[in-house]
Amino acid sequence: MGDQADRQPTSRRIADELRAAIISGELADGDKLPSERELAAKYAAARNTAREAVGILQAEGLAVAHHGRGVFVRQRRPLMRMGRERYSRRARAETGLAPFRIEVQKQGKTPHTECRSVTRVAPPADVAERLGLVDGDEVVRRENWYFADDEPVQVGVTFIPVTIAEGSPLATEKKLGRGSIYQRFEDLGYPIERIREEVCARMPTPVEFKGLAMPPGVPVIEVLHTSIDDKGRPFEVTRFVMRADINGLDYEMAVED
């Protein structure tokens, strides 16, 4: 066994020992890793070898580099998406906030959102199917980027049938006022009553990788969300793309007979 470890590349051996220290808690969330110079001296290795070892941990999502400051153990406590609570009408009425802001504040972080575009487009096929649209129907597309403590955590693209959004702030305004998007839907007669969420994992696109400031090798969680009103009508679909290294999903639901 020892012979096999001795034959292992030095960069792998350094990475293995650092990983073990992170998993055991010896290196805690937010701790700074030893510098390349320190690692090179400790293991009698070249600095390039030490850099490769740290790169292995970054590719695994265990460490993150902050320019000019060094490399740190990534925070492992995920930002949880509370599937059962996040669309609560009571919480929206009490706080006047959108679901993401309520969620992030509850978890001790500072939320920030940017609506980067509001356009009118033909819907993607999967969106058209979930909204019951036919060829020729158009949707309002709203693109929002979400931040917690100024770190990008997810992007959400919302699709709303033009027949619902037209003539309302949903079709033209980036800022939607108190209660945000779901209060505006309720104002139009579409209170959110049920949701359907389809969840999968995949690797990020180049745009997502750059925009979400993702470390190499980390996948995204994609949540295709459909809102359904009290009459059983689907009225919006949002495709959320979330960094898998800092987001988690928490769902609680009744089990059918």
Residue 28's contacts (CB-CB under 8 Å, 6 or more residues apart) are: 73
- Side chain identity at residue 108, one-letter code: G
Tens-digit pLDDT profile for residues 195-247: 999 999 999 999 999 999 987 778 999 999 999 999 999 999 999 999 998 89
Pick from 168, 163, 167: nearest CA to 137: 163
Position 99 confidence tier, pLDDT thresholds 50, 70, 90: confident
Topology agreement, domain 2-73 and domain 79-250: no
Name the CA radius of gyration of the chain, rounded.
22
Would you state the pLDDT for residue 1? 44
Q: Does the pTM of the predicted model rise above 0.85?
A: no
- For 79-250, the fitting CATH number among 1.10.3720.10, 3.40.50.11030, 3.30.9.10, 3.40.1410.10 is 3.40.1410.10
All structural domains of the chain with their residue ranges: 2-73, 79-250
DSSP 88: -
Tens-digit pLDDT profile for residues 239-248: 999 999 889 9
- What angle do the packed helices 47-59 and 10-24 form, to 10 degrees? 50
- For 2-73, the fitting CATH number among 1.10.1740.10, 1.10.10.10, 1.10.1270.20, 1.10.510.10 is 1.10.10.10
Tens-digit pLDDT profile for residues 130-149: 999 999 999 999 999 999 99
Handedness of CA 248, 23, 152, 91 (dihedral sign): positive
Cα distance between residue 97 and residue 188, in whole Å: 18
Half-sphere exposure of 211 (CA within 13 A, CB side): 18
The mean per-residue pLDDT over the stretch 61-83 comes to 82
